[in-house]
A and B are shown apart, each in its own frame.
Chain A
Amino acid sequence: MSKIEIKNLDLYYDDLQALKNVNMSIAANRITAFIGPSGCGKSTLIKTLNRMNDLIPGCHITGSVTLDGEDIYGKDLDVNLLRKRVGMVFQKPNPFPMTIYDNIAYGPRTHGVHRKAMLDEIVEKSLQDAAIWGELKDRLLKSALGLSGGQQQRLCIARALAVQPEVLLMDEPTSALDPISTAKIEELALQLKEHYTLVMVTHNMQQALRVSDTTAFFLLGEVVEYSDTEKLFSMPVDKRTEDYITGRFG
């Protein structure tokens, strides 16, 4: 079943058209990977899914994006509620300068959870789901800035999970991390897809191949090819896809 439906999406930064007629349906409980060369619009597209583009002055779109059939650019839509449903993990780990506990509790508190017992439970559950509870359970009241990069990124995943999203967007979540942390996050992604819909931008084709179910290949703001990951990597239909995945591109 498709969770997100993108139809005829054009996106402009002022006059620059960054996305051209994107059509895509993203399946629930699957990992969808976006690949493509730098500047082709992967981050731009992933940010339209939780409307983080609203923060960029001069950015406007035409076309439609629906989440469970509801237009997320509709007039009555509450953006904050949308972002609660569609969580995001950024390329550079960005824990808040506060304790590990408060980092996780920030989201639930934002949405009105204030009971201590409840928060305790959410913090533990989120950290467990992000496979980092064991490492952090004894230092919950220490600053999150003291963690390693890989731990920080998993903390950010836990922070996103704490508001119980339905979709988790990850924009190159491992590009700033070492191989071991990367492996942990990939493993985590595979576990998370049982409960969440994941969309992941990656520059690493091996990674797309390892973790994703479907892959979209972008070029200059267009989706060139979008299909099952295995099919896209073994029998690409488009010549440009083939050039890119075999490294003959550019």
Chain B
Amino acid sequence: MKSARAAGTPILRPGGSRLLNTLRANLLHWKRHPFSALIRLACFLSTCITVFALLDVVADILIKGLPNLKPSLFSLTYTTDNQSLLPSLINTFIITALSLIVAVPLGVGGAIYLSEYAKRNSLLVRAVRLTAETLAGIPSIIYGLFGMMFFVISLNMGLSILAGALTLSLMVLPVILRTTEEALLSVPDGYREGSYSLGAGKLRTVWRIVLPPASPGILAGVVLSIGRIVGETAALLFTAGTLARLPSSLLSSGRTLSVHMYVLAGEGLHIGEAYATAAVLLVFVMLMNGLSGLISRRIIKE
């Protein structure tokens, strides 16, 4: 090492500032490896563009939305005068919760069956996997049409929060199923073997050994689903309707924040309020992400 360096000119001059020294070292490295320098530059630029685009969207929404946040936007009843978003916010909570209550147990349970009980890579497992993958890629409007035909009309639920939530739970079910299955499969088999070899049964092994290390991955799937539910409009227009009131029951129509924004922006009369709604939606999503990050870090620590 020493002799090799002594032969060339020293790159780092003891007197120079640290920044200059780094720059000098980098320049020398780039001169020797121009291609590697190019790749590095390209990657750096990609990062810049991604971050910039994201910041731009967030800044745009906050700048145009925050000044339009008025107390009247949070009144309990929506009128054409106040354009209140509070009923929609509450509907968003209800629809998200309902969809998850249906989709999470089904999706997680199904994934546990596929990865822990069914024969690995059996025909059934592969068929379900393929189906789930296909379903996850279908545009949401098709779920909306299906939901309208099935829940709204056939099951006679009418345009209702219940029909909307059930439709959305169908929409996110494949997402939860697949992410959970991936999370379970990434748990090393050594853990399972260790557990069985100590005399633990299937249930205990799945519950105490496989699920804990998989839970951050499962949670990531749930967060992804929440994002899709909160951002959904097309599937809800046909199933939950656009009534901007607090629901009196699960069978009454109700709009979520995204639908609310869609309607406001579509009418073209209340762009300011639409931006304010967008700001609230943004904060909502960021809070969800932060919360789930916190939870998964807690889980990992345990």
Contacts and interface: CB of A to CB of B under 8 A. Distances in A.
Interface range, A side = 20 to 34
A110 B199 contact: yes
Nearest to A95: B194
Contacts of A84: 198-199
Given A97-B212, A106-B208, A52 B198 contact: no
Interface of B: 119-120, 188, 190-201, 204, 208-209, 212-213, 302
Given A57-B119, A97-B213, A159 B198 contact: yes
Contacts of B120: 57
13 contacts: A80-B199, A80-B200, A83-B196, A90-B194, A94-B191, A96-B191, A96-B209, A98-B212, A98-B302, A106-B198, A110-B198, A110-B204, A111-B199
A90 B201 contact: no
A36 B193 CA distance: 24
Contact of B198 (A55, A98, A160): A160
Given A90-B193, A96-B194, A156-B194, A80 B201 contact: yes
Closest 7 CB pairs of A and B: A94-B190, A84-B199, A88-B197, A107-B198, A83-B199, A80-B199, A110-B200
Q: Is the interface of B mostly helix, strand, loop or mixed?
A: helix
Interface in A65-103: 80-84, 87-88, 90, 92, 94-98
Interface of A: 50, 52, 55, 57, 80-84, 87-88, 90, 92, 94-98, 106-107, 110-111, 156, 159-160, 163
Contacts of A80: 199-201
Nearest to B198: A107
B231 to A, nearest CB: 34
Nearest to A58: B119
Given A57-B119, A92-B190, A94-B188, A106 B197 contact: no
